[in-house]
Amino acid sequence: MDLYKKTAHELSSLLQKREVSSEELTRSVLDRINKVEEKVKAFVTVTGEQALEQAREIDEKRARGEAMSPLAGIPMAMKDNICTKGVTTTCASKILYNFVPPYNATVTEKLLEAGTILLGKCNMDEFAMGSSNENSGFFPTRNPHDLSAVPGGSSGGAAAAVAADEAVFTLGSDTGGSIRQPAAFCGVVGLKPTYGYVPRYGLIAYASSLDQIGPLTKDITDCALVLNVIAGHDPKDSTSAPVEVPDFTRYLVDDVKGLKIGIPKEYMGEGIDPRIAAYLKQAAAKLEELGAVCEEVSLPHTEYALPAYYIIASAEASSNLARYDGVRYGLRVEAEDVISMFCKTRSQGFGEEVKRRIMLGTYALSSGYYDAYYLKALKVRTLIKRDFDQAFLKYDCLLTPTSPTTAFKFGEKVNDPLAMYLSDVCTIPINLAGVPGLSLPFGTVEGLPVGIQFIGKPFGEGTLLRVGYALEQNTDLTKPKAQMEGVI
């Protein structure tokens, strides 16, 4: 039995019936990592021995009859910008190459308390800045469906690990689409929760008003199970929302009758691959067949989202990354005086994309330009949020493509940053508005997965899981994995 191929809920059932042990399961996934990791390169760090030790502890607890969470004994991995006590957390940057956190992020703590097994840390674009994983400070990750194509970014390692069965599920972070776009490129489910729903304590900050942690999973049921564990108020995070968290598995019902779904016309125009647009219409038709009502809607300020995002995100990054100066963390390049040490450390420690965004953000915040750029971008953000508020007066959720194209080839956009930024054009407005977005696999184009995106009201994750689950139950287009056989 290839245990590594199964979903978390399938494995949970086997573990609860004592048909397999967590140690057997963990060994199966570690064997899979040994077999395919050289081709995929999804991991920065693999903690094999530690994982087996954790698995044996869970098996002993189960043998004693202790109460267990549904995810107890399930092997998972995390993006390498989520702090893990005693395990290197690099942000895929040379400037943090040796940083070992003395504490766990809140989500790490929650998952370990639930009994999950940490397999290691996944590769990413440096400091979560990128859309292809080509900006990792160490090595690029490859798309398991086509090794010449990128896995997306910045959670490309986390998405590729799930797609290649190197982890049962992973956690990523999403600042402008960094969970959903790689989920679409790799053919897995990816959820960016409502801002404030999942604690950010212990997430190494890129742009603090936009960053969110969320799950990458093999199906919608697993997504609900992981969200059950990681969502909830955290007093250590001042932006954490004090709201009640439901049992998300309640929303796993094959019923969308009466749901009103809006399809924003601004997401279906120029730049969207017509084959992806055709899949989106097919998804809408299937939902209508199941009893939902789909209608065109307008979000008129969508065209301003991309420039506003890159000003706001870069401004926050220029502030957040000021702490990496060779004094407190990671790399220090020795020099004749302190100022020279700062300059040499940051010059050698940061990659080109990180430097580009620090300079852009510093410029936007500088005296004389703040009102013209940063303040104006914040006003645009308010208009975009109002667009969504207006749409959600009538609709339960919105349906759009996740990305305008399928995964592109390595090197195709690396010398054209603006073209690279456009690959997040369908996901960025959701972060600016702070609402949740779910990417679901839906068909393939030339062997590469297509993702469709459902956008919800604030704290409306349950509705997104409901429509995603209904599509999973009624079409095979949500299961692109068979296309991967023979590639890895």
Q: CB of 432 within 8 A of CB of 384?
A: yes
Domain that holds residue 67: 3-249
With CA atoms as reference, report the closest residue to 37 among 11, 4, 6.
4
**Residue 416 within a domain:** no
CA 247/CA 114 separation, integer angstroms: 15
What is the pLDDT averaged over residues 293-317?
Answer: 96
CA 212/CA 197 separation, integer angstroms: 8
CA 360/CA 363 separation, integer angstroms: 5
Q: CB of 336 within 8 A of CB of 316?
A: no
What is the pLDDT averaged over residues 65-70?
Answer: 96
CA 185/CA 449 separation, integer angstroms: 6
164-170-173-174 Cα dihedral, nearest 10 degrees: 60
Active-site pick, 6, 41, 79, 110: 79
> Which residue type sits at 32?
R
Q: CB of 105 within 8 A of CB of 53?
A: no
177 versus 424: which is more confidently predicted?
A: 177
pLDDT tens digits, 244-278: 999 999 999 999 999 999 999 999 988 899 999 99
**Residue 318 within a domain:** no
Residue 483 pLDDT more than 80?
A: no
Q: Which CATH number fits the domain that encloses residue 47?
A: 3.90.1300.10
With CA atoms as reference, report the closest residue to 287 among 467, 469, 473.
467
Check residue 205 and report its DSSP letter: P
Cα torsion 155, 156, 158, 162: sign: positive
Radius of gyration of the chain, Cα coordinates, nearest whole angstrom: 21
Q: CB of 174 within 8 A of CB of 214?
A: yes
| H or E stretch covering 60 | helix 48-63
**Residue 459 within a domain:** no
Task: Clarify whether 173 is annotated catalytic.
Answer: no
- What pLDDT band is residue 197 in, cutting at 50, 70 and 90? very high
What is the pLDDT averaged over residues 222-237?
Answer: 98
Q: CB of 95 within 8 A of CB of 116?
A: no
Strand 437-445: give its sheet, edge to edge: 43-46, 117-122, 75-79, 169-174, 212-217, 189-192, 437-445, 448-456, 397-401, 260-264, 293-297
CA 298/CA 347 separation, integer angstroms: 44
Tokens found for residue 260: 């009103």
**Residue 393 within a domain:** no
Q: CB of 61 within 8 A of CB of 68?
A: yes
Task: Clarify whether 355 is annotated catalytic.
Answer: no
Of 291-295, 399-403, 419-423, the range with the lowest mean pLDDT is 419-423
pLDDT tens digits, 319-354: 999 999 999 889 999 999 999 999 999 999 999 999
User: Treating both helix axes as pointing N-terminal to C-terminal, what angle do 274-289 and 461-474 enclose, rounded to 10 degrees?
Assistant: 90
CA 187/CA 163 separation, integer angstroms: 7
**Residue 119 within a domain:** yes
Residue 485 pLDDT more than 80?
A: no
Q: Count up the domains in the chain and report the number.
A: 1
% of the chain exceeding 90 in pLDDT: 93
What is the pLDDT averaged over residues 134-141?
Answer: 97
- Respond yes or no on whether the N-terminal peptide bond of residue 132 is cis (omega within 30° of 0): no
**Residue 410 within a domain:** no
**Residue for token digits 């000021």?**
322
Predicted pLDDT of residue 57 = 98
Indicate the SS3 state at residue 475.
Answer: coil
Active-site pick, 21, 22, 93, 154: 154
Active-site pick, 93, 136, 178, 314: 178
**Residue for token digits 């069965």?**
165
HSE-up of residue 74 (Cα within 13 Å, Cβ side): 32
With CA atoms as reference, report the closest residue to 210 among 129, 280, 156, 276.
129
Predicted pLDDT of residue 479 = 86
191-194-196-198 Cα dihedral, nearest 10 degrees: -30
Task: Clarify whether 423 is annotated catalytic.
Answer: no
**Residue 344 within a domain:** no
**Residue 301 within a domain:** no
How far is the first Cα of the chain from the last one, in angstroms, to the nearest whole number?
19
Strands (E), 22-154: 43-46, 75-79, 117-122
| H or E stretch covering 444 | strand 437-445
